[in-house]
């Protein structure tokens, strides 16, 4: 099968999805991304146009994984993935919501922690169910899911740091701080902490003599943002991990796990038949 036909197959899997909500959300977001791409072309903003193309590709990721791994991804999970991608790339990057709306980045990182914990939990749960020799305890399953989520969060921060260092992109957003503590400023080089408080202005001078004035304090170049992102990722991971642990411990499903647990197609179909669903 050619690449074009396979992409059409993945796209059709959404358009003919059993869930009406998935069909509607995919169609609406797909149209919005295409309109955004046209706007970027008209404005000759080719970088954002490339982001739009990337979003269209990422939209196909759930269908691709479901097809290749023979999995069933719950409709609500698919919808949240679509919305997450759209919010991060189109709204966040192209429409500058990261700067315009305080806390936008925080919300997405919290959701990322929750979703990655759900994915990690599902993967380990599937492996555990398919193994005849190894049976993991609910606590261990939950711990692995939590660690999986945090690992993804850390890898993403590594990626942001690398992009900032190589291309000066400022993916790790800056913060203005009014006080710092530093051993580098110790003139005796004895690791004494030099504390500077109530900073109101910082002046940066380049080798060519050009100066840039930062009003309001000192410019933190990503440390606070990275720690904040990891902290809220932790919150999202903990929330789902607790829900997953309770589910396994009581051997009873709930609305959260039903909507976020990825299952083999055959297993999901059997569950649906048992519940009287088609």
Give the per-residue pLDDT at 274: 47
C-beta of residue 64 within 8 angstroms of C-beta of residue 26: no
C-beta of residue 188 within 8 angstroms of C-beta of residue 265: no
| Pick from 238, 235, 234, 228: nearest CA to 98 | 228
Whether 143 and 188 share a structural domain: no
Give the per-residue pLDDT at 244: 87
For residue 4, the tally of other CB atoms under 10 A from its CB is 8
Whether 129 and 179 share a structural domain: no
Domain of residue 125, residue span: 103-173+222-278
Give the per-residue pLDDT at 278: 38
Whether 127 and 247 share a structural domain: yes
Whether 145 and 129 share a structural domain: yes
Give the per-residue pLDDT at 266: 66
CA distance 146 to 140: 10
CA distance 209 to 88: 38
| Pick from 63, 89, 90, 91: nearest CA to 75 | 63
Whether 157 and 203 share a structural domain: no
Give the per-residue pLDDT at 225: 94
Instruction: Answer yes or no: is 76 within a domain.
Output: no
The helix/strand/coil state of 206 is coil
CA distance 86 to 53: 12
Residues 6+ apart with CB under 8 A from 153: 109, 112, 113, 116, 229, 230, 233, 234, 237
Instruction: Answer yes or no: is 77 within a domain.
Output: no
User: pLDDT of 42-68, one tens digit each?
Assistant: 999 999 999 999 999 999 999 999 999
User: pLDDT of 100-157, one tens digit each?
Assistant: 998 999 999 999 999 999 999 888 877 776 666 657 788 888 999 999 999 999 999 9
User: pLDDT of 218-267, one tens digit each?
Assistant: 999 899 999 999 999 999 999 999 988 888 888 766 677 788 888 887 65
Give how many domains the chain has, as a whole number: 3
Whether 233 and 133 share a structural domain: yes
Whether 63 and 30 share a structural domain: yes
Whether 243 and 149 share a structural domain: yes
Instruction: Answer yes or no: is 265 within a domain.
Output: yes
User: pLDDT of 179-191, one tens digit each?
Assistant: 999 999 999 999 9
């Amino acid at each position: 099968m050619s690449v074009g036909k396979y992409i059409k197959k993945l796209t059709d899997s959404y358009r003919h999805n059993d869930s009406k909500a998935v069909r509607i959300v995919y169609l609406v977001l797909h149209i919005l991304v295409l309109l955004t791409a046209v706007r970027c072309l008209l404005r000759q903003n080719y970088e954002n146009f490339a982001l739009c193309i990337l979003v269209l590709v990422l939209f196909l990721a759930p269908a691709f994984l479901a097809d290749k791994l023979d999995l069933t991804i719950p409709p609500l999970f698919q919808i949240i993935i679509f919305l997450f991608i759209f919010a991060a790339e189109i709204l966040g990057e192209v429409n500058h919501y990261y700067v315009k709306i305080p806390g936008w980045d925080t919300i997405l990182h919290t959701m990322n922690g929750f979703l990655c914990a759900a994915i990690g939990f599902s993967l380990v749960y599937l492996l555990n169910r398919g193994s005849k020799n190894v049976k993991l305890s609910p606590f261990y399953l939950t711990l692995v899911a939590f660690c999986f989520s945090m690992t993804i969060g850390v890898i993403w921060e590594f990626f942001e740091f690398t992009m900032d260092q190589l291309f000066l992109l400022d993916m790790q957003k800056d913060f203005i701080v009014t006080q710092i503590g530093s051993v580098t400023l110790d003139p005796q080089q004895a690791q004494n902490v030099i504390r500077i408080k109530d900073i109101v202005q910082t002046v940066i001078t380049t080798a060519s003599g050009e100066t840039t004035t930062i009003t309001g304090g000192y410019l933190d170049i990503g440390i606070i943002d990275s720690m904040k992102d990891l902290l809220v990722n932790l919150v999202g991971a903990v929330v789902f991990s607790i829900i997953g642990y309770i589910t396994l411990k009581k051997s009873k499903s709930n609305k959260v796990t039903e909507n976020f647990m990825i299952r083999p197609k055959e297993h999901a179909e059997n569950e649906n038949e048992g519940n009287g669903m088609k």
